[in-house]
């Protein structure tokens, strides 16, 4: 089977995607600089699939290292590019770190792919490119809005760089996958989300509060124009998301694409409020969660959930796992990690 490079392959979504690629029989090479992951994730992947991907610790900001990598691995048929910084709040305080790490590295990789006879490229994008969409659910034709953060801007710029490159590089086929909110963990609890420091995202903060690592969850506002006053998001199980990457890659490898640059929204198509996520967690864990309502968080959109028609019809992919499945797996993972 084809050899696939996964950058950021020891990260949360990357590691789950490596598992699904190996399940499909692909040969996988992982690049990761371990800035937001740990080498033990390799053991988790091996424990699930019985195969250890080739691993190279490499910082994609080092242009010469990227060139050397592609000299060494000459028969790469596809690349799934996760490696990037992704903390919205941090990006506001450290914009140059985000433009260097998320943009320069993309350019270096694309320059190497341009040299290859043919390559399939999957880009990790985000629903954040839509900002607060005017219409819900959000389709791929929704206008891209002024980014709310440098992180979101790097995803918008990244998509433009890829689109512009594909226009003049017939040998390069690319798909940008716009994730909604990835949550949960592999059912084995061998891999999962490992936020470093205080979690920014809702679900890891919930599980860390429930296990006693955090005192209390702050719910950022209940005065929004939504049924229960809290913000609505489309929480997609990370395993469904990982499977979508393998399907999108296959679309390109088998030349089933309609143009050499396409975008797809990846969500469940259902919106859930913060309080609904909390209720789901309490139901599946049997734990009462300690939380309080506080003021709104700067930059939060009121509501965002996907119109998944295009991914359903074109990719033949539909999310199978539920919010309860995601909460159950996230809680199981939290308990395993804290028992180590």
Minimum distance from residue 206 beta carbon to ligand WQD (Å): 8
Cβ–Cβ < 8 Å for 120, 47? no
Q: For residue 220, state whether it binds ligand WQD (rule: CB under 6 A).
A: yes
Could you confirm whether 235 is annotated as catalytic?
Answer: no
Q: Is 39 helix (H, G, I), strand (E, B) or coil?
A: coil
Minimum distance from residue 155 beta carbon to ligand WQD (Å): 7
d(CA 57, CA 31): 6
Task: Give the residue with the Cβ less far from ligand WQD, 128 or 265.
Answer: 128
* Binding letters toward ligand WQD, positions 282-321, x by CB under 6 A: ---------------x--x---------------------
Q: For residue 201, state whether it binds ligand WQD (rule: CB under 6 A).
A: yes
Angle at 112 between CA 111 and CA 114, to 5 degrees: 65
Ordered DSSP codes for 48-72: HHS-PPEEEE--TT-HHHHHHHHHH
Which range binds ligand WQD by CB under 6 A, 39-47, 70-78, 99-107, 216-224?
216-224
- Does residue 137 have a cis bond before it (omega within 30 degrees)? yes
Q: Which residue is nearest to ligand WQD (CB)?
A: 231
Q: What count of other Cβ atoms lies within 10 Å of the Cβ of residue 161?
A: 16
d(CA 86, CA 8): 12
With CB under 6 A as the contact rule, the residue among 81, 233, 243, 332 that binds ligand WQD is 233
Q: For residue 178, state whether it binds ligand WQD (rule: CB under 6 A).
A: no
Q: For residue 88, state whether it binds ligand WQD (rule: CB under 6 A).
A: yes
d(CA 129, CA 131): 6
For the record, the structure tokens of 267 come out as 């969500």
Which range binds ligand WQD by CB under 6 A, 46-54, 55-63, 199-207, 314-322?
199-207
Minimum distance from residue 273 beta carbon to ligand WQD (Å): 8
Give the end-to-end CA distance of the chain in Å, rounded to a whole number.
Answer: 36
Q: For residue 202, state whether it binds ligand WQD (rule: CB under 6 A).
A: yes
With CB under 6 A as the contact rule, the residue among 33, 91, 101, 126 that binds ligand WQD is 126
Q: For residue 86, state whether it binds ligand WQD (rule: CB under 6 A).
A: yes
Which range binds ligand WQD by CB under 6 A, 66-74, 215-223, 240-248, 326-334?
215-223
* C-alpha 271: how far from chain center: 18
Catalytic residue (choose from 151, 179, 261, 305): 151
Ordered DSSP codes for 101-143: IIIIHHHHHHHHHTTSSSEEEEEEEEGGGG-S-SSSSBPTTSP
Please give the positions annotated as active site: 151
Residue numbers at the binding site for ligand WQD (CB under 6 A): 86, 88, 126, 128, 181, 200-202, 205, 217-220, 231, 233, 274, 297, 300
């Amino acid at each position: 089977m084809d050899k696939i490079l996964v950058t950021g392959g020891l990260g949360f979504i990357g590691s789950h995607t490596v598992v699904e690629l190996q399940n499909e029989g692909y040969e996988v090479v992982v690049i990761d600089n371990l800035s937001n992951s740990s080498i033990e994730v390799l053991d988790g992947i091996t424990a699930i699939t019985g195969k250890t991907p080739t691993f190279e610790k490499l910082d994609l900001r080092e242009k010469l290292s990227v060139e050397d990598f592609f000299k060494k691995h000459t028969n790469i048929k596809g690349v799934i590019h996760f490696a990037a910084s992704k903390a919205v709040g941090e990006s506001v305080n450290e914009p140059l770190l985000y433009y260097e790490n998320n943009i320069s590295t993309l350019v270096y990789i694309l320059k190497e792919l341009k040299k290859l006879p043919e390559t399939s490229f999957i880009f990790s994008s985000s629903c954040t490119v839509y900002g607060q969409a005017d219409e819900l659910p959000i389709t791929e034709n929704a206008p891209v809005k002024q980014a709310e953060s440098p992180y979101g801007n790097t995803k918008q710029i990244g998509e433009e760089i890829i689109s512009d490159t594909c226009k003049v590089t017939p040998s390069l086929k690319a798909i940008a996958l716009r994730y909604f909110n990835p949550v949960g963990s592999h059912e084995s609890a061998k891999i999962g989300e490992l936020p470093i420091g205080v979690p920014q995202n809702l679900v890891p903060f919930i599980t860390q509060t429930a296990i006693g690592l955090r005192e209390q969850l702050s719910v950022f506002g209940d005065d929004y124009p939504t049924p229960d006053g809290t913000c609505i998001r489309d929480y997609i199980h990370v395993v469904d998301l990982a499977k979508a990457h393998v399907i999108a890659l296959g679309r390109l490898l088998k030349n089933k694409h309609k143009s050499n640059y396409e975008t797809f929204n990846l969500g469940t198509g259902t919106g859930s409020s913060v309080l609904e996520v909390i209720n789901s967690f309490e139901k599946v864990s049997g734990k009462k969660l300690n939380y309080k309502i506080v003021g709104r968080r700067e930059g939060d959109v009121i509501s965002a959930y996907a119109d998944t028609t295009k991914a359903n019809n074109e990719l033949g992919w539909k999310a199978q796992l539920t919010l309860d499945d995601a909460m159950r797996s996230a809680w199981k993972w939290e308990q395993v990690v804290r028992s180590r």
